[in-house]
Amino acid sequence: MALLDAYPKPLTADQVAYLLRRATFGPTAGQIKALAGQTAAQVVAKLLADQPVPAPPLSLETGKTFHDLPFDSVNTGKLKQYVKNWWANLMLNEPVSLLEKMTLFWSNHFVTNDATVTDYRYTYRYNCLLRQHALGNFKAFTIAITQDPAMLRFLNGNQNVAGTANENYARELQELFTIGRNGGYTEDDVKAAARVLTGWADTGYRDVNNAAITSAFRANRHDTGDKQFSAAYQNTVIKGRTGNNAGLDELNELLDMILRQAETPRYICRKLYRWFINSEIPADVETNFIQPLAEVFRKNNFEVKPVLSALFQSQHFFDESLRGAIIKSPADLVVSTLRFWDVQAPDSSQNITAFHQVGNYINARVKEEKQELLNPPTVFGWTAFYQTGYYQQWINSATLGLRGSFGDALTTSALKLNGKPVIDILPYVKTLSDPTDPAKLVNELTGQLLAVALTQAQKDFLTDTVLLNSIPRYEWAGEWNDYVKSPNDAAKKRAVQTKLTAFLQYVFRMAEYQVY
C-alpha cells in the first residue's frame, strides 16, 4: 500500500470525527452526523471549498469598524484585543472548512507578533492576508507576505536599503519560510538575498492622522547591482535592476530560484505533516509520503489545495495507529470543547457585548495555556511546533492544571457565555441511545468525546467509580427514570446531575482528552 494512495471507503462517524478534529477546530455532533457515510474525497472537497470573506471586527464601545481609521493610541490595547476576539470567534463559528486551521498554521509559519508590530491595524491586515492566501498559491503568498506591512516591521524589511542591507528577513525567508535549514544555502546567499530585497517599506505605521496602511517599493533605496548566489542555488545570478518594477521583478526571480530546489517543497510538506498528522517522520514516511507529496506540490505549481487534498484523503492519514498522536494545542482544546457543546458566538452586529464576551473567554484560556493568538513568542512560532518533543511542549506542571480547570469551569452553571451555561449535561445525555444503562452511557459519551478508544477496564472504572461513585449499576436506572418523570424535582435532578458533572470533569482531565 502506497502511503499517499487515496482512502476509498465511505467514512464511519468515528473517521469523520477524526478527520474534522485534525482539519478543523473540532466537529459538532451535527457535522459528524451529516458527513458520516461520505467518502474522504467528498468531505475534503467541502473542507477545501472557498469561504466568504468575514466581516471585519467591530469595537465594543462604538459597534463600528476601527481597522479603517487612524491609529488610536489611547485605546490601542482594547482594539488589539478586539482583533483577537474576532479571530477566536471565527474559529468557534467555522463551518466544515480548513480555512481557520490553515490560517493558524500560516500564523505559525510566516510569523509576526503584535508585541513587536504594535499596530492593531497592521495585525488585522496581516491576518486577512493569511486567510486570503491560506489555501492558494505558495509563491504568490510568499510575495505578498514579503511586502506585508506587519512583516516589514517585524523582520526589519523596512530598514533594508542599499549599502546597509538588513539581513533579518532574507535569513528567515530561507531558513524558516521556504527551503529550511537543510537547504544548503550559505551566509553569502543570505547577504545576496538581502540585497535583492532592499527598498521595501511600509507607510501609515501608528499614524494618528491617517487611516491608510500600505507598503511600497522605493527604487532610490534599492541595490541595483547583480546578486551572485552559491552552488547551492546553481550559482544563479539575479541581475540588478533599476526603476519602479525592480523590487518585484527581483523578488520573483529570487523565489523562482528557491522554489526550483528539491528541498523547498519537501520542507513545506514536512511542516504540514507535523501540523496535521504526526511530529515524527520516520524514513518510510519521508520516502513514501513526504517526497511524493512534495512532487504533488511541485507539479501543481506550488498550489496548496492539491497538497492538502492528497494529505487528507491518503490511506496513511486514516492509519489507526496515528490516532492520539497529537497533543491538542490550547486553541484546539478550548475551541473544540466549546464547539462540541454547540457554543456559538453571536453576530457582532446584533449583540456586540456577547460577541466580545465569548471571544475574550477563548483568548484568556488560550493565552494562559501559552498560545496567545497573533503573538507567537519568536520568529520560530510557538515552541510546541518546532522544539524537540513538539506537541509535548504544551503540557507542563502549570499548563496541565490550567487545562484541567478549564474543563472544570465549563461544567458549572456559574460560567455563562452568550447568556447561558456552556454545558448543560442533562439534555445532552437524553440524546444518547439508552441513558438508563450506565455502561452504554459511558461507552457512547467517551466515544464521542475522546479520539482514542478506551480499554474495557477503563470504561468499567469510569462507570462504577467515577460516574456511579460505587453504587450498584442497577440503581442508576431508577435515579435516571425518577428524574425524567419529575424533571423539576430539585433532589431527583441533583442525584443524576452531580454524578454526570463529576464524570464529565474527570473525562476532561484524562490524558485521552488532551490528544486527538
What pLDDT, in 10s, does the model give residues 393-405?
999 999 999 999 9
Give the SS3 label for residue 164.
strand
Residue-level pLDDT at 374: 98
d(CA 72, CA 64): 14
Among candidate residues 125, 123, 121, the one with its CA nearest the CA of residue 113: 123
Residues contacting residue 230 through CB under 8 Å, at least 6 positions apart: 185, 186, 188, 189
Phi, psi of 391 (to 5 degrees): -55, -25
Give the SS3 label for residue 58.
strand
- Average pLDDT over every residue of 124-139: 98
d(CA 451, CA 449): 7
d(CA 335, CA 470): 33
**What is the DSSP code (8-state) at residue 137?**
B
d(CA 461, CA 503): 11
387-390: Cβ within 8 A, 24+ apart: 390/274, 390/279
Weakest-pLDDT range from 423-427, 478-482, 492-496? 423-427
Mean of pLDDT over the chain: 97
Residues contacting residue 255 through CB under 8 Å, at least 6 positions apart: 139, 142, 143, 178
Instruction: Using the predicted structure, report yes or no on whether residue 497 has a pLDDT greater than 80.
Output: yes
**What is the DSSP code (8-state) at residue 346?**
P
**What is the DSSP code (8-state) at residue 175?**
I
CB 168 within 8 A of CB 156: yes
Residues contacting residue 155 through CB under 8 Å, at least 6 positions apart: 112, 168, 169, 172, 379
Give the SS3 label for residue 200.
strand
d(CA 254, CA 261): 12
First to last CA, the chain: 24
Percent of the chain residues topping a pLDDT of 90: 97
Residues contacting residue 465 through CB under 8 Å, at least 6 positions apart: none
Residue-level pLDDT at 471: 95
CB 78 within 8 A of CB 60: yes
- Average pLDDT over every residue of 154-180: 98
Residue-level pLDDT at 364: 98
pTM confidence score: 0.97
Instruction: Using the predicted structure, report yes or no on whether residue 165 has a pLDDT greater than 90.
Output: yes
What is the per-residue pLDDT across 14-38, written as a single tens digit (0 to 9) for each? Answer: 999 999 999 999 999 899 999 999 9
- Average pLDDT over every residue of 248-268: 98
What sections of 377-489 are H helices per DSSP?
A: 397-410, 425-430, 438-449, 456-461, 473-485
Other Cβ atoms less than 10 A from the Cβ of 174: the count is: 23
- Average pLDDT over every residue of 49-76: 98
Among candidate residues 462, 465, 473, the one with its CA nearest the CA of residue 507: 462
Residues contacting residue 461 through CB under 8 Å, at least 6 positions apart: none
452-458: Cβ within 8 A, 24+ apart: 452/323, 452/324, 452/512, 452/515, 453/323, 454/512
What is the per-residue pLDDT across 428-464, written as a single tens digit (0 to 9) for each? Answer: 999 999 999 999 999 999 999 999 999 999 999 999 9
d(CA 206, CA 204): 6
Q: How confident is the model at residue 412 (pLDDT cuts 50, 70, 90)?
A: confident
What single letter denotes the amino acid at residue 19?
A: L
- Average pLDDT over every residue of 239-249: 98
Instruction: Using the predicted structure, report yes or no on whether residue 1 has a pLDDT greater than 90.
Output: no
Q: How confident is the model at residue 415 (pLDDT cuts 50, 70, 90)?
A: confident
Residue-level pLDDT at 413: 74
- Average pLDDT over every residue of 499-515: 97
What single letter denotes the amino acid at residue 205?
A: Y
How many CA atoms are closer than 13 Å to the CA of 101, on its beta-carbon side?
Answer: 25
Question: In angstroms, how far is CA 111 from the centroid of its own chain?
Answer: 13
d(CA 343, CA 165): 50
Listed by start position, the domains of the chain span 138-261, 426-514
Instruction: Using the predicted structure, report yes or no on whether residue 414 has a pLDDT greater than 80.
Output: no
Weakest-pLDDT range from 158-172, 175-189, 409-423? 409-423
Residue-level pLDDT at 125: 98
d(CA 89, CA 344): 8
CB 84 within 8 A of CB 78: no
Other Cβ atoms less than 10 A from the Cβ of 434: the count is: 12
Instruction: Using the predicted structure, report yes or no on whether residue 271 has a pLDDT greater than 80.
Output: yes
Among candidate residues 319, 317, 305, the one with its CA nearest the CA of residue 45: 305
d(CA 10, CA 383): 37
Residue-level pLDDT at 431: 93
d(CA 199, CA 265): 28
What is the per-residue pLDDT across 291-320, written as a single tens digit (0 to 9) for each? Answer: 999 999 999 999 999 999 999 999 999 999
- Average pLDDT over every residue of 198-207: 98
Cell numbers linked to 272? 504540514
What is the per-residue pLDDT across 219-232, written as a single tens digit (0 to 9) for each? Answer: 999 999 999 999 99
Percent of the chain residues topping a pLDDT of 70: 100
| CA distances from residue 330 to 104, 382, 400 in whole angstroms, order as listed | 12, 11, 11
- Average pLDDT over every residue of 340-360: 96
CB 25 within 8 A of CB 47: no
